[in-house]
């Protein structure tokens, strides 16, 4: 039994950060010293996967523990239903103070709209949120009124400052309550959601861009040279986020909260950035579906070396987005709702015997915008990626022998037995989920979605006022420093 209890949760995630663009994920270029430290001192899920690699669907699966065909959340800019348990509502019912800061993207097509207090906030009480914007230097958000507020400067820095303010308040309250032997020392759950490193890749403070001259950026073997400029900006965003994560971790230590807090960093999906000749997300290749997932928590940090040898600080079991909610609840000792479709991986974190899934189930149900290809379903295991589209088998990779997924084995006679086995495994997963892999129109009609010529849900665009001096700005009262 851990001498510390995993009471609190600080869950930080970014938008569009692929697993291979971290030091602990194998990159020799991008500078992520704090993420690497978390990996050294904590637990890494080496095969963390975005079941459906696009923003709104991932966020819905994270908060509900349910797959997209259960919730209907397989498109961007649709509203998450309020009729099921979410991470926020379950934690609040268990006595937690709940907080959400940053990008939401779960409240429908009004990207600049106000989410009022109540069920649409999905159980989060403290609220400093913009539905969706990637205007990182002029970013809109709301608190508890319809009056718009704007983060001061690079929004990830300002959002982190407000999160730090929240943590310091919690630390003060904790010390006060314990010194007075009061019982109001409630646990808390803070979710911090950053917009970067999602494009635009140059919307980052210049000091970070200066770290990565494009001509010095190396590209992956499956990526063309013209991607260097985008990669340089992408890496700049990631290093900026690493600095913000370090600030947050420092305050957890300073306030004496680290030893009783589950502290996580991950992302909602990756970014192709030219690999395989593709851009952005919604694709089944690793650059799109795999994300970093690193955590520090009391149950892990107290294991001795023999315990670490049993499970290892790097866990190779496939870890899908629907597994996050049950795992966080498991680490906090809170019963997992029956509605969750994911697995509780807390035993693996603690170094206990654990049997997970052999493969992660991945999909694109109704592709839109940058990716207007066919819908697809697939599985990603430690050894293989197998994907089927409407025409049949599409992709088959040996991920151990071919980590950059350069050689597609699908349809090759010498791999026919392997393909049949993996196709059968995929079919079992589809049958288990009631998924028939039908054309996108079937699912759009079933859930009542109307799309535009790009196949996307029509949405408004957030427009920043031209005169920033005349508007209120906020980044927490300490937005320019700690």
Q: Find the radius of gyration of the CA atoms of the chain.
A: 22
pLDDT of residue 244: 98
Residue 264's pLDDT is 98
Q: Is pLDDT of 467 > 60?
A: no
Number of Cβ within 10 Å of residue 178's Cβ equals: 11
Sequence-separated contacts (24+) of 386-393 with Cβ below 8 Å? 386/410, 386/419, 386/422, 386/423, 386/425, 386/426, 387/284, 387/362, 388/423, 388/426, 388/437, 389/437, 390/437, 390/439, 393/419, 393/423
Handedness of CA 384, 385, 391, 392 (dihedral sign): positive
Q: What is the pLDDT of residues 433-465, one digit of tens each?
A: 999 999 999 999 999 999 888 888 888 766 565
Catalytic residue of the set 4, 17, 20, 105: 105
Helix axes 228-254, 33-41, angle to 10 degrees: 60
Give the DSSP letter of residue 134: -
Residue extents of the structural domains in the chain: 8-359
Q: Domain spanning 8-359 has what CATH number?
A: 3.40.720.10
Q: Answer positive or negative: Cα dihedral of 421, 424, 428, 429.
A: positive
CA dihedral 403, 407, 408, 411 (to 10 degrees): -130
Residue 218 has a pLDDT of 84
Q: What is the pLDDT of residues 215-260, one digit of tens each?
A: 888 888 878 766 788 999 999 999 999 999 999 999 999 998 999 9
Catalytic one of 55, 223, 297, 479: 55
Q: Residue 17 is encoded by which pair of tokens?
A: 């950060």
Mean pLDDT of all residues belonging to the chain:
88
Phi, psi dihedral angles at 149 (to 5 degrees): -120, 165
Is 67's pLDDT higher than 90? yes
Q: What is the pLDDT of residues 259-286, one digit of tens each?
A: 999 999 999 999 988 777 778 888 999 9
- The verdict on whether 132 is a catalytic residue reads no
Residues 81-121 have pLDDT tens digits of: 999 999 999 999 999 999 999 999 999 888 889 999 999 99
Q: Which contacts (CB < 8 Å, 24+ apart) does range 214-221 have?
A: 217/29, 218/28, 218/29, 219/274, 220/20, 220/275, 220/287, 220/404, 221/404, 221/406
Q: Hey, is 15 helix, strand or coil? A: strand
Is residue 312 pLDDT above 70, yes or no?
Answer: no
pLDDT of 111: 86
Edge-to-edge strand list for the sheet holding 359-364: 359-364, 376-381, 384-389, 392-398
pTM of the predicted structure, to 2 decimals? 0.91
Examine the pLDDT at 481 and tell me if it is beyond 50.
no
Is 198 among the residues known to form the active site?
no
- pLDDT exceeds cutoff 60 at 471: no
Average pLDDT score over residue span 150-177:
88
């Amino acid at each position: 039994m851990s001498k510390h209890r995993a009471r609190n949760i600080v869950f930080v995630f970014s938008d569009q950060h692929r697993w291979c663009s971290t030091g602990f994920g194998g990159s020799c270029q991008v500078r992520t010293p704090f993420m690497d430290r978390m990996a050294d001192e904590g637990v890494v899920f080496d095969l963390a996967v975005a079941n459906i690699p696009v923003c709104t669907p991932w966020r819905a699966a994270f908060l509900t523990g349910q797959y997209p065909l259960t919730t209907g959340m397989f498109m961007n800019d649709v509203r998450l239903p309020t009729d099921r348990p979410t991470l926020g509502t379950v934690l609040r019912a268990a006595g937690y103070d709940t907080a959400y800061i940053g990008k939401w993207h779960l409240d429908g097509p009004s990207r600049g709209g106000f989410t009022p207090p109540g069920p649409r906030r999905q159980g989060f009480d403290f609220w400093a949120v913009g539905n969706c914007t990637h205007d990182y230097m002029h970013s809109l958000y709301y608190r508890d009124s319809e009056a718009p507020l704007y983060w001061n400067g690079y929004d990830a820095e300002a959002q982190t400052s407000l999160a730090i303010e929240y943590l310091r308040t919690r630390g003060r309250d904790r010390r006060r309550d314990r010194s007075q032997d009061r019982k109001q020392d409630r646990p808390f759950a803070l979710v911090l959601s950053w917009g970067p490193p999602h494009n635009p890749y140059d919307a980052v403070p210049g000091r970070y861009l200066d770290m990565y001259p494009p001509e010095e950026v190396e590209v992956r073997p499956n990526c063309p040279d013209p991607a260097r400029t985008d990669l340089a900006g992408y890496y700049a965003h990631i290093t900026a986020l690493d600095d913000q994560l370090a600030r947050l971790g420092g305050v957890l230590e300073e306030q004496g909260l680290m030893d009783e807090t589950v502290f996580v960093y991950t992302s909602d999906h990756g970014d192709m950035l030219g690999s395989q000749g593709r851009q952005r997300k919604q694709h089944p290749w690793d650059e799109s579906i795999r994300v970093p997932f690193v955590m520090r928590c009391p149950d892990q940090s107290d294991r001795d070396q023999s315990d670490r040898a049993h499970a290892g600080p790097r866990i190779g079991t496939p870890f899908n987005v629907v597994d996050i909610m049950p795992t966080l609840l498991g680490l906090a000792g809170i019963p997992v709702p029956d509605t969750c479709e994911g697995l509780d991986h807390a035993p693996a974190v603690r170094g206990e015997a654990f049997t997970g899934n052999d493969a992660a189930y991945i999909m694109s149900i109704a592709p839109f915008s940058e990716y207007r290809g066919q819908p697809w379903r697939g599985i990603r295991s430690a050894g293989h990626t197998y994907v089927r589209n409407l025409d049949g088998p599409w992709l088959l990779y040996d991920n151990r022998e071919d980590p950059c997924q350069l050689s597609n084995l699908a349809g090759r006679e010498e791999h026919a037995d392997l393909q049949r086995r993996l196709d059968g495994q995929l079919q079992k997963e589809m049958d288990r989920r009631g998924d028939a892999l039908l054309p996108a129109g079937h699912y759009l009609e079933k859930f009542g979605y109307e799309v535009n010529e790009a196949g996307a849900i029509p949405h408004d665009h957030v427009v920043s006022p031209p005169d920033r001096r005349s508007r209120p700005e906020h980044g927490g009262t300490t937005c320019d420093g700690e």
